[in-house]
Amino acid sequence: MAPISRFTAALALAYGFCGTLTAAHPGEEQHDIKHIARQMKRTAAIADYQAAQMNACVDSEHVKALQERAIKRRAAITEQLREERGLQDTPIFDKRNLQDFKTWAQTQHNKTGSALKPGASLEALFGANPTCILAPDNANGPYFVKGEQIRSNNVDGQKGVPMHLEIQFIDVKTCKPAPEILVDIWACNATGIYSGVSAQGQGGLNSAFLRSVQKTDADGVVQFDTNFPGHYGGRATHEHIITHVGAKVEANGSYTGGTINHLSQLFFEQALINAVEKTAPYNTNRIQMTQNDADMFTGYAATKAYDPFPSYTYLGSQIEQGIFAWALLGIDLNANVEQYATNTAYVDATGGHNNPSFNMGIVATPPSTHGKREGEEEEEVLDAE
């Protein structure tokens, strides 16, 4: 299927070929389906390009060494998290059953019924193929807030399924880790509300739940203690990610300056989402949930270009006892996507403020790639460098 047709079909599933798209959140722009299809086509080409770069890292000694350290680190983290929760004597239940994306289930995610037992292979549980775990720049999404606090725990009293999230970043140009970059994450809570913004129905400018920033270590790794995201209308469950190169960490625990070089979203397999949504308070959310196979961004994963789902394991026998999730992302440290990372609000020493210039687009198209721009012929396929 031609790229434009593939994405038009994917969007049709999500939106029923409506003439204009209803904004999922106040403040989001409305775009017609052809506009989004053009943007999605460019994103697909970027994904192909980045995946090819990551494939070149398969036999890299850097990546092999990183993976060896990652296996040991993830095992140690799991042990520590279980000890902190008093779960040492509780069996780990690790169920992976991805129906919507069977290719990925067969190669990466299918660990149905496995458990961490004495003598079990740590590599089988915590290893991953670095050439497949790649989230391309796709969308800023709503409600990026500049200047969030540098902290590892961002729960702020929110109820939900605890999630310890580890993200490791590799420079796709060198196959080496990406240290000393700042990583911004944010997500909505169990009932679909975002903090940090003043839009009607959201948490308000001076709230910061499920938002925080961390600096990557020498292995390009950040760790967050957060909650599994909830859902809102029109989008599959996801976690937002933005990375900053060259930012300055301030004494007040925030940051200034730097360049945004990557923005994307992590998604979660449908079986895990369904399990979480059965628990409180997620089960009080009356907004209709969008399935992965109807989301405009996860749809491209079905073409085998990249895997948008982090690996995970339950920390105990019940999902309410917490999840440990991890992902390896390839990024271009020389990219600049500032123009696509429009912030809805910003935080300074006096608190949160609306951004008067807020005008969020839907899909990011890094300027390091080349191709037709908006308004030009749709059938032109981006020729990424």
Query: What amino acid occupies position 15?
Result: Y
- The set of residues, in sequence order, having a beta carbon less than 8 Å from that of 145 and lying 6+ positions away, is 186, 196, 197, 211, 343, 344, 345, 346, 347, 352
Span between the terminal Cα atoms of the chain, in Å? 23
CATH (one of 3.40.50.720, 1.10.1200.10, 3.40.50.150, 2.60.130.10) for 3-21+31-123+134-354: 2.60.130.10
- For residue 17, count CB atoms less than 10 angstroms from its CB and return exposed for 0-12, middle for 13-18, buried for 19 or more: exposed
Sign of CA dihedral 132, 133, 138, 141: positive
Residue 4 near residue 98 (C-beta atoms within 8 A): no
Which residue stretches of the chain have pLDDT < 70?
A: 1-52, 54-55, 58-59, 93-142, 296-307, 359-385
From residue 99, alpha-carbon distances to 129, 230, 237 in Å are 20, 20, 16
Q: Contact at 8 Å (CB) between 71 and 122?
A: yes
Q: Domain ranges in the chain?
A: 3-21+31-123+134-354
Exposed (0-12), middle (13-18) or buried (19+): which is 202, by Cβ within 10 Å?
A: buried
Reading the block at residue 379, the tokens are 């059938």
Residue 273: the pLDDT is 95
Q: Which uninterrupted H or E stretch holds 249?
A: strand 248-249
Which pLDDT belongs to residue 339?
80
Alpha-carbon gap, residue 178 to 66, rounded angstroms: 12
Query: What pLDDT was estimated at residue 173?
Result: 84
Residues 29/349, Cβ–Cβ less than 8 Å: no
Q: Which of 235, 182, 234, 238 is nearest to 210 (CA)?
A: 238
Cα(262)–Cα(346) distance, rounded to whole angstroms?
19
* pLDDT value at residue 51: 66
Residues comprising the chain, all counted: 385
Residue 370: count other Cβ atoms within 10 Å of its Cβ: 11
Q: Which residues, at least 6 apart from 322, have a Cβ–Cβ distance to it below 8 Å? A: 81, 85, 161, 162, 163, 164, 314, 315, 316
User: What's the 3-state SS for 210-233?
Assistant: CEEEEECCCCCEEEEEEECCCCCC
363 and 40 Cβ atoms separated by less than 8 Å:
yes
Task: Give tens-digit pLDDT for 207-231.
Answer: 999 999 999 999 999 999 999 999 9
| Distance separating alpha carbons of residues 254 and 342, to the nearest angstrom | 18
DSSP one-letter string for 276-336:
HHTSTTGGG--SPPPPGGG-TTGGGGGGTS-----EEEESSSSGGG-EEEEEEEEE-TT--
158: its two tokens: 């929110």
Contact 58, 128 (CB under 8 A): no
